[in-house]
Every structure is written in C-alpha cells, then in structure tokens.
Amino acid sequence: MDSMEVNKAVAAVLVAGIAFFLTGTIGVNLVQEHVPVKTAIKIDVPKAAAPGGAPAEPELPPIANLLASANPTNGEADTKKLGCVACHTFTEGGKAGIGPNLYGVVGAPHGHMAGFGYSEALKSKKGPWTLAELNEWLYKPSAYAPGTRMSFAGIKDNKERADVIDYLRTLSHNPEPVPPPEPEKKQAAAATPAPAAGGAPAGEPSIDTLLASADPAAGEADTKKLGCTACHTFDKGGKAGLGPNLYGVVGAPHGHMEGFSYSTALKSKQGPWTFAELNEWLTKPAAYAPGTRMTFAGIKNPKERADVIAYLRTLSPNPEPLPGK
Ligand code: HEC
Ligand code: HEC
C-alpha cells in the first residue's frame, strides 16, 4: 500500500516533469521556427545583431539610404567636433596615434594599418570594412566589436554618422561607390506583411547563405530544364519573347527591359531587384506580384533557385557583389 502511494507520487512528479519539459521544448521550437523566416527576408541584418550575438540594438537605417543625402565636408568637420582627430590621422601615410591612420579604410580589411596594435576583437572580424559595417561600428564600437580598444561611445545621430562615413569613403584614390538607396523596398516590406511573409519558405536558409554555395553554371542549365528559356533570352541585347530579356536584371529596376509591356503588378514594385526579391519572386511569382503576367509556378528547390539567381548575377559586365563579400 505504502509503496503504491510512493509509486503514485513518483509518477505524478515524473508526469509533471515531462509535461514541463515538453512544454518548454515545444515552446522553444515554436520560437525558433521564426528565426529563418526573419533572416530570409532581411538581407542586411547587421552581423552584431545575428541570433546569439550581442544584445539587440535598434536596427539602423540602411547605409545606402543614409549616404544618399550625406555630406563628406560636414563629415570631415564632424571628425573634429566628435574628437576622432584626437586619436586618428586621416591623410595618406599619416602616423598612428592612439588609433590607426584611417586613409583608405573603406573597403580595406579590418585592422588595415600595417604595424598598428589592434585588439583581437577587431582583428578577428573577417573581410573588408563595408559601408554597412562602418555604420554599425560607428553607431556603437563596443557592440560591433566587444573588447575593442577604441574607447568611443559611438555616433547616435544618423545624419552625422553617414556624413563621417561618406568622408571616410572619400579618403581613397578610388572611392567605393555609394550603393543605390532603397527606401521604398524597406517600407513596403514593413507595411505589406502578406507578400513579405510569403517570401522564401520558412525553414529555408537565407538567400545570402544559399548564394554562398550556388553554382551559376548549374543555374544556366536549370533555366533550360525549367523552361525559362521558352520565354526569356539571357544574352546582352537579346530580344524579348513572351518574357523580357534578362541580361543585367540583378540590381536593375523591376521591369527593366525598355519597351517590354510589363504587368502593373510588376511595374508597381519599387526599387531595384535585390537577391532577396529575386528569391521571393522565383519561389512563387504569383505570390510576390499578384497579377503578374509570368505564368510560371515557381522554383521550389532552394538550391536550384539560388543557382538560377547566381547565374542571373553573372549576366552583367559588373556583377553585383555577393552578400557578405
Ligand atoms: C580615444 C581614441 C579614439 C577615438 C576618439 C576614436 N577612435 Fe577610432 N580607433 C581607436 C582605436 C584604438 C582603434 C583600434 C581599435 C581596436 O583595435 O580594437 C580605432 C579603430 C577605428 C577604425 C577601424 C580602423 C581599422 O584599421 O580597421 C575606424 C574606422 C575608426 N576607428 C574610426 C573612428 C572615427 C570615425 C572616430 C570619430 C567618430 C573615432 N574612430 C574615434 C581610437 C579612437
Ligand atoms: C511562360 C513564360 C515565362 C516563363 C516560363 C518564365 N518567365 Fe520570367 N517572365 C515572363 C513574363 C511575361 C515576365 C514579365 C512579368 C510581368 O510583367 O508581370 C517575366 C519576368 C521575369 C523577371 C523580371 C524581369 C524584369 O525586367 O523585371 C525575371 C527575373 C524572370 N522573369 C525570370 C525567370 C526565370 C529565372 C524563369 C525560369 C525559372 C522564368 N522567368 C520563367 C515570362 C516567363
């Protein structure tokens, strides 16, 4: 009898424990479901805000939009007002102070000055300083590179930060181009949840990740296999068929072929074709642009879709840089 009671008590505790555990697991799974959806849509998520990274910072406006109205002369004045000049020189060949010389830093590797004793925090950052990374860094250095030696709180004012970045950009024999602004796209993504949420299928890696291992040659073969070539030409100056010629479409405005009669559905889309948008479009054209004239179901296989997009990217004298490169 006693042992029955004990058994019951133990069973009750176990059941409660299992229920508690399962609820937690289910809860975690539900929450995690959303992570890929989010990253699949936002292409320029700052690295520091990646899942598991630094505490969430407010999302900064895209650097392209800030730079559209930036003024490098004001930026130069700001480097004096804000005290950058106390630690940095900006002239070509200028000496290091507390901080490194900053001539040519845009597009150069992190920790670009030979011989300067950078922190591990900064040296461990991969790849060149992009304009977007400088935007994050100068917003809050300690959040972008925790442990950095640059003891500077950051520039919170968007205009001021953009002016400074634009000034840094000019410190080169061959300044990096300013990326085209895309305000409409950003607002559309935020304001019209339906098409945005209907983008790349949930659980899929983001287009950035997919493109990293995509194969343009396989993509070209896919355009034949999938029947794109029945409606589209891909060579420079190629004629329209049922669909427009697709040379140079990546980075070009929606409805990019002169003289082709596009649907209002497609023409009404603002801004250039980004990789993320092409990914959405080719997943299911009718969902991305309801009313489109392109009668094509879509490419369900993410690898195939990325290969095709990688192929489209090559159709340019000057292909758009791959995300993160
Ligand atoms: C108190 C001194 C100090 C101030 C003020 C300061 N910096 Fe720095 N800066 C540093 C140091 C030190 C580093 C190297 C950081 C590291 O190694 O972690 C650095 C690194 C940098 C880098 C990266 C350079 C590279 O080669 O990768 C940039 C860009 C930069 N600073 C820009 C600025 C700008 C713009 C301002 C003003 C808004 C500013 N800094 C203010 C000390 C300073
Ligand atoms: C049945 C014909 C047809 C097929 C098959 C087809 N397309 Fe299209 N495509 C069109 C038409 C028509 C448009 C213009 C749509 C509109 O105006 O709404 C278009 C538009 C596009 C655009 C946008 C062009 C621009 O200038 O904005 C891209 C990119 C594209 N197609 C890629 C593809 C790819 C890649 C495939 C194969 C996976 C494919 N299409 C298959 C007919 C087709």
Ligand that comes closest to the CA of residue 309: 2
Report the CATH architecture of 63-170: Orthogonal Bundle (1.10)
Ligand 1 midpoint to CA 156 (Å): 16
Q: Which residues of 36-52 are buried (b: 16+ CB within 10 A; e: fewer)?
A: bbebbbbbbbbebbeee
- Ligand lying nearest the CA atom of residue 133: 1
Instruction: Output the residue whose Cα is nearest ligand 2's atom 37.
Output: 228
pTM: 0.45
Give the residue range(s) of CATH 1.10.760.10 domains in the chain. 63-170, 183-314
CA-wise closest residue to 43 among 156, 140, 179? 179
Pocket of ligand 1 (CB under 6 A): 79, 82-84, 86-88, 98-100, 102, 105, 110-113, 118-119, 121-122, 138, 145, 148-152, 155, 164
Which residue's alpha carbon is nearest to atom 17 within ligand 1? 118
Residue 201: per-residue pLDDT: 65
Quick one: fold of 183-314? Cytochrome Bc1 Complex; Chain D, domain 2 (1.10.760)
pLDDT of residue 13: 54
Residue 324 is predicted with a pLDDT of: 72
CA of 186 to the centre of ligand 2 (A): 23
Average pLDDT per consecutive 10 residues, the chain (325 residues; last block may be shorter): 60 53 43 40 41 55 90 96 94 95 95 95 92 95 94 94 96 88 50 41 83 94 93 94 95 93 91 92 92 91 95 93 78
With a 6 Å cutoff on the Cβ, whether 308 touches ligand 2 is yes
